[in-house]
Structure 1
Amino acid sequence: MSYTVLGDAVNLASRLEGAAKQYGVEIVISEYTRELVPEYACRELDRVRVKGRTQPVVMFEPLGLASDLDAEQNAELIEYEEALRAYRRQDWNPAEAGFQRLRERQPDHRLYALYLERLATLRAEPPPVDWDGVFNLETK
């Protein structure tokens, strides 16, 4: 006998797991899982549409228990959230400056480079007026 799991949650988990490498993180959780673990500090990675779904989902990277984060980690998280908000407002200069500062402190963190690459693309090819800041994940 062989067992398997099926359903929307399983498909979503598979898509998010496949995105982890693209964002340079080990673990990705959805907004639904995030709601179930309020004691954990999580970095919002992106709002994405995954293959097979029309509604966007918010992806997070769990960072550990919120009570275990030190002052430097909390400061980095706050700075990242500010840069991400600027990015979503299409306020490219503060977004770029924020991601650049983060990347200078952590040059190996793929997430910061990813957003800097996106910003360069968005500057070259501005999004439509009704842009929702959602990225379409094309790969599994």
Structure 2
Amino acid sequence: MASRLEAATKQYGVCLLISETVVANLTKSSLRDSCRKLDRVTVKGSAEPMLLYTYDMPFLQKDLKGSPQVYKSLFEAAIDNYIIGNWTESSKKLNQCIQMWPTDRPATLIAKYMASHNNVVPAAWKGYRELTEK
């Protein structure tokens, strides 16, 4: 699993991807609160969907316009809408995120994924997507 997550960091353009299991087991709430929900996926070799998180390092947020906390809330609301299949609302929120932080690759990645489906949730959508790249 670790090697799959490490490989996926390139797709998301982040330094660190963290599984929901690791985030849930962080003992300090301040550490959990510092992790941003990115996506819900299955990885090659596993049929069980999992939430992916990252830790946004402050020194990498130099071009973020606004508060990191406001951005995280907006981004996670977009991801929650994406997961439940409300892609219209998710797309609006992700576009706001991209305006606030143009170099945030996860926002662009999810927005492009939805755009590849014309921002219409696929009929077979189960609330996650399959990561097929190694």
User: CA offsets per residue over residues 54-109 of structure 1, 9 Å max, x none?
Assistant: 11122110236xxxxxx811111111111112212322222111101110121111
- Residues in 2 aligned to 1:95 and 1:102: alpha-carbon distance in whole angstroms: 10
Q: How many residues align?
A: 122
Secondary structure in 2 matching 1:123: coil
Secondary structure in 2 matching 1:25: coil
Q: Percent identity?
A: 30
Q: TM-score, normalising length from structure 2? A: 0.81
Q: Residue 125 of structure 1: CA displacement?
A: 6.5
The aligned residue for residue 19 of structure 2 is: 30
The aligned residue for residue 50 of structure 1 is: 43
Code of the aligned partner of 1:63: D
**Radius of gyration: which is bigger?**
1
- Residues in 1 aligned to 2:92 and 2:125: alpha-carbon distance in whole angstroms: 21
Which runs of 5 or more residues in structure 2 are unaligned? 58-65
Which runs of 5 or more residues in structure 1 are unaligned? 1-11, 65-70
Q: TM-score, normalising length from structure 1? A: 0.78
Equivalent of 1:116 in 93, 103, 111: 111
Q: Residue 127 of structure 1: CA displacement?
A: 0.9
Describe the shift of the 1:51–1:106 C-alpha distance in structure 2 as closer, same or farther (beyond 3 A).
same
User: How large is the RMSD of aligned CA atoms in angstroms?
Assistant: 1.9
Code of the aligned partner of 1:82: A
Equivalent of 1:131 in 121, 125, 129: 125
Q: Residue 117 of structure 1: CA displacement?
A: 0.6
- Residues in 2 aligned to 1:25 and 1:126: alpha-carbon distance in whole angstroms: 26
- For the Cα contact (< 8 Å) 2:86–2:121, is it kept in 1? no
Q: Residue 23 of structure 1: CA displacement?
A: 0.7
Q: Residue 118 of structure 1: CA displacement?
A: 1.3
Runs of 4+ in 1 over 6 A off after TM superposition: none
Code of the aligned partner of 1:26: C
- Residues in 2 aligned to 1:107 and 1:87: alpha-carbon distance in whole angstroms: 19
Describe the shift of the 1:126–1:95 C-alpha distance in structure 2 as closer, same or farther (beyond 3 A).
closer
